[in-house]
Amino acid sequence: MAISAVQTHLSPEEYITLERKVIPDVDTVRSEYVNGKIVAMSGASRAHNLISINISGELRNQLKGGGCETYKSEMRVSTPSTSSYFYPDVVVVCEEPRFEDDVFDTLLNPIVIVEVLSPSTEAYDRGEKLLHYQQLESLKEYILVSQDKANVERYLRKPDEWGYTSFRELDDLLPLTSIQCELPLQEIYERVTFPESKN
**Each residue's pLDDT tens digit, 21-66:** 875 554 456 799 998 898 888 778 999 999 999 999 999 999 999 9
Q: How far is CA 97 from CA 1, 12, 53, 90, 133, in A?
A: 26, 21, 21, 15, 17
Considering the entire predicted model, what is its pTM? 0.90
Percent of the chain whose predicted confidence (pLDDT) is above 70: 91
Distance CA 131, CA 49 (A): 25
Residue 198 has pLDDT above 90, yes or no: no
How far from the centroid of its chain's Cα atoms is residue 121's Cα? 12
Closest CA to 3 of 159, 188, 127: 127
The fold adopted by the segment(s) 45-188 is: tt1808, chain A (3.90.1570)
Q: To the nearest whole number, what is the mean pLDDT of the chain?
A: 91
Q: What is the pLDDT of residue 119?
A: 87
Instruction: Give the pLDDT confidence of 127-156 residue by residue, as tens digits.
Output: 999 999 999 999 999 999 999 999 999 999
Distance CA 92, CA 139 (A): 10
Work out the average pLDDT over 164-181.
98
Q: What is the pLDDT of residue 179?
A: 98
CB neighbours (10 Å) of residue 78?
23
Closest CA to 75 of 117, 49, 110: 110
Sequence ranges of the domains in the chain:
45-188
Report residue 110's pLDDT band, with 50, 70 and 90 as the boundaries: very high
Q: What is the DSSP letter of 140?
A: -
Q: What is the pLDDT of residue 4?
A: 47
Distance CA 140, CA 86 (A): 17
Distance CA 90, CA 112 (A): 8
Distance CA 187, CA 58 (A): 8
